[in-house]
Amino acid sequence: MLLEHACEWLGWPPPQNILEPKGEGAAVAARSAEQKIGKPLERAFPGLVVETGILTPDPLGPGTAAPLAVICQFPSGAQPEALQEAHRLAWNFSRTALLVTLEPHRLMAWSCFQDPGQTEDLRRVCELATPAGEPPSGTPEQRQIRELLHWVSLITGNFLRRREKHFPADGRADALLLKNLKYVRRQLILSGLNRDVCHDLLARIIFTQFLFHRKDSAGNPFFSKSLLAGRCGGSLRRVHSGFESVLRDKDETYSLFQWLDDRFNGDLFPGTENQTDEERRVAWQAEKDAVEPSHLELLADLVSGTIDTADRQLRLWPKYSFDTIPLEFISSVYEEFLAEDRGARFLGSAN
């Protein structure tokens, strides 16, 4: 079932209000979905045709309400790997609970509150075969899916209540990533690393990983093969295949950080712009002295997805797409840590 028939059958707005909404806020969200989900899919699967849009409560108004669903239409169908990647990207998008994929022969709905490591039975909310490409005739299963994905059900949130097991509150990419970072933060602090250094280091790890994932309009990452082959302008001693490799060498890690500081001077790096070169050098050295190779090994294990815990959620890092996760998340993590510290100091003084 493709989008035109789905809109009629499910009571959704017309296709143009999904693919190209006119409202200012909805248009921004739709362009973001295309850039963060549609374009990466086309780059990853040459020849794949995908049309990306959003279902939003008011596609014509100026509001910026969160989308009800991300829509990916594959007019010529999609291989299973492409559907899996569409779900991973929509999960990282972190702006909606639902992804709906449309192909001529089927409609599928996916939970964006289930991470890509979960079974397909949990990630896939429902599937409806439409072999003739026409709206279903009305079997009990078809009516059930229609009620679940109908416009009224989406607007009221009824679909979340009806399929509760598919939508755990803590299953979003941003929520799980914050949980991962809190775990590693706790381990770093327990090992003796200063809290402020720990916070700066974790924020810098996120920023650097973002740059490894960040791609331009042609699909070229910031850390391109040529940049890595050139050892970042000769700043590194050897060629690295990725961020994990850099983190396993303390000197290389700080060479990379200082190379980044020259290009993105800001709060993520030691020192301030009002300090002299000597003061900044001292600040860099103080942090480098505080950070042990074992701290960076822990971060390398996080980035590689080799940290194992009972719930296995620390293995999720390779599933994250830092080019897709909302940018404001980076600052929100830092604020979350600072708020926790303020709360801890308040409780400590009260006792």
pLDDT by residue (tens digit) across 85-139?
999 999 999 889 999 999 999 999 999 999 999 999 999 999 999 987 666 778 8
pLDDT above 90 coverage of the chain, percent = 61
Question: To 10 degrees, what angle do helices 195-213 and 293-304 make?
Answer: 40
Q: How many CB atoms sit inside 10 A of residue 188's CB?
A: 23
Mean pLDDT on 320-343:
72
Residue 21's nearest CA partner among 61, 50, 49 is 61
Report how far residue 284's alpha carbon sits from residue 250's, in angstroms, rounded to the nearest whole number. 13
Q: How many CB atoms sit inside 10 A of residue 11's CB?
A: 15
pLDDT by residue (tens digit) across 21-71?
999 999 999 999 999 999 999 999 999 999 999 999 999 988 888 899 999
Neighbouring-strand partners of residue 127:
108
Query: Helix H segments across the chain?
Result: 3-10, 16-19, 24-33, 39-44, 80-93, 120-123, 140-149, 151-156, 158-162, 173-190, 195-213, 225-229, 231-234, 243-247, 250-263, 277-290, 293-304, 328-350
Among 1-10, 20-29, 36-45, 312-321, name the one with the lowest average pLDDT.
312-321
Report how far residue 323's alpha carbon sits from residue 173's, in angstroms, rounded to the nearest whole number. 13
- Which residue type sits at 253? T
- 263 band by pLDDT with thresholds 50, 70 and 90: confident
Mean pLDDT on 263-284:
78
Q: How many CB atoms sit inside 10 A of residue 94's CB?
A: 19
Instruction: Using the predicted structure, report yes or no on whether residue 203 has a pLDDT greater than 80.
Output: yes
Q: What is the pTM assigned to this prediction? A: 0.88
Among 155-164, 169-178, 308-317, 341-350, name the one with the lowest average pLDDT.
341-350
Read off the tokens for 152.
Answer: 């009224």
